[in-house]
């Protein structure tokens, strides 16, 4: 896959899967715009990727999303690929959830991609062949114990992907979705050892994903290798879920 001449914006690029995506696109020749709410980690991540740029972005803020679009435009830049990878979760029983927790889950995992996508669509349309890859979760396909509202948000991202894909064919934009299973990132490490072991054992391939393996799926959807694919969902989860 070759992304020479393409500009790719990745959210959540300071860590885990988003960071692996940023590195993968850069290795494939793209100019990468890393974005994240964590400025220090984002700047450090960008420093490791030659020719890349870091822009601070809080995906829960519409102003922040619009400011990123305005900055790219003001700098005379363009955008070919958007990867919505930023996400957040804490596992706990639904009965223990507070309304504040629900709001945070929905703001980061659902409304974040929605409002950033809207802010960046004019640039993606202008590119003539824009691509959007959303990072959802297998939780959004099959549910997940202790991740009830997160699963709802991620299921929403799948439906958002499909509907936007239908609307955007007329603009020559493809929209697809990756569903990681348990992946070796700081988010996964924040779960208890017991939970991590239980998840590993439930995976037919008996290990969690490397972030780069999830990034490979993202690069596929963003590349010409998937030129006739839109509105699709790909699980990268070692066989944890096998959905028709
Ligand atoms: P991570 O915690 O390693 O990285 C997430 C990044 O998102 C962090 O750099 C964080 O600063 C950033 N972020 C959080 N809130 C933000 C906000 N409001 N605005 C902008 N950036 C923000 O997590 P990981 O594991 O790399 O997750 C990436 C995506 O993959 C997420 O959407 C997550 O839901 C999804 N996922 C992860 C799985 C896993 O096992 N690690 C499994 C299934 C899905």
Closest by Cα among 100, 9, 17, 25 to 59: 9
In the predicted model, is pLDDT for residue 93 greater than 90? yes
In the predicted model, is pLDDT for residue 129 greater than 90? yes
The tokens describing 193, both together, are 């050892």
- Report the pocket of ligand 1 as residue ranges, CB < 6 Å: 11-12, 14-18, 36-38, 57-60, 85-89, 108, 135, 137, 180, 182-183, 185-188
Percent of the chain with pLDDT over 70: 100
When the candidates are 3.40.50.300, 3.60.150.10, 3.40.1410.10, 3.40.50.720, the CATH number that belongs to 7-236 is: 3.40.50.720
How many residues make up the chain in this entry?
Answer: 244
Distances (CA, A) of 238 to 26, 43, 234, 242: 25, 32, 12, 10
- Ligand 1 centre from 88 Cα, in Å? 5
Question: Residue 70 — pLDDT band, cuts 50, 70, 90?
Answer: very high
- Ligand 1 centre from 15 Cα, in Å? 7
In the predicted model, is pLDDT for residue 244 greater than 90? no
* Per-chain mean pLDDT for the chain: 97
Each domain of the chain, given as residue ranges in start order, spans 7-236
In the predicted model, is pLDDT for residue 111 greater than 90? yes
Question: Residue 195 — pLDDT band, cuts 50, 70, 90?
Answer: confident
Percent of the chain with pLDDT over 90: 93
Q: What mean pLDDT comes out for the span 74-92?
A: 96
- Ligand 1 centre from 16 Cα, in Å? 7
């Amino acid at each position: 896959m070759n992304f020479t001449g393409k500009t790719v914006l990745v959210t959540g690029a300071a860590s885990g899967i988003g960071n692996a995506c940023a590195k993968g696109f850069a290795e494939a020749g793209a100019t990468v715009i890393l974005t994240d709410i964590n400025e220090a980690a984002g700047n450090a991540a960008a420093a490791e990727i030659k020719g890349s740029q870091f822009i601070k972005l809080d995906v829960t803020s519409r102003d922040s999303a619009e400011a990123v679009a305005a900055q790219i435009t003001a700098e005379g830049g363009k955008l070919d690929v958007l990867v919505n990878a930023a996400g957040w979760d804490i596992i706990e029983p639904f009965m223990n959830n507070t309304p504040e927790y629900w709001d945070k889950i929905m703001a980061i995992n659902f409304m974040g991609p929605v409002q950033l996508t809207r802010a960046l669509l004019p640039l993606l349309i202008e590119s003539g062949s824009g691509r959007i890859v959303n990072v959802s979760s297998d939780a959004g396909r099959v549910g997940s114990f202790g991740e009830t509202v997160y699963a709802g948000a991620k299921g929403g991202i799948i439906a958002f992907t499909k509907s936007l894909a239908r609307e955007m064919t007329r603009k020559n934009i493809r929209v697809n979705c990756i569903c990681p299973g348990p992946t070796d990132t700081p988010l996964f490490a924040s779960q208890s050892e017991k939970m991590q072991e239980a998840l590993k054992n439930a995976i037919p391939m008996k290990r969690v994903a490397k972030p780069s393996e999830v990034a490979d799926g993202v690069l596929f959807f963003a590349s010409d290798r998937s030129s006739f694919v839109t509105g699709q969902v790909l699980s990268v989860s070692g066989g944890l879920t096998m959905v028709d």
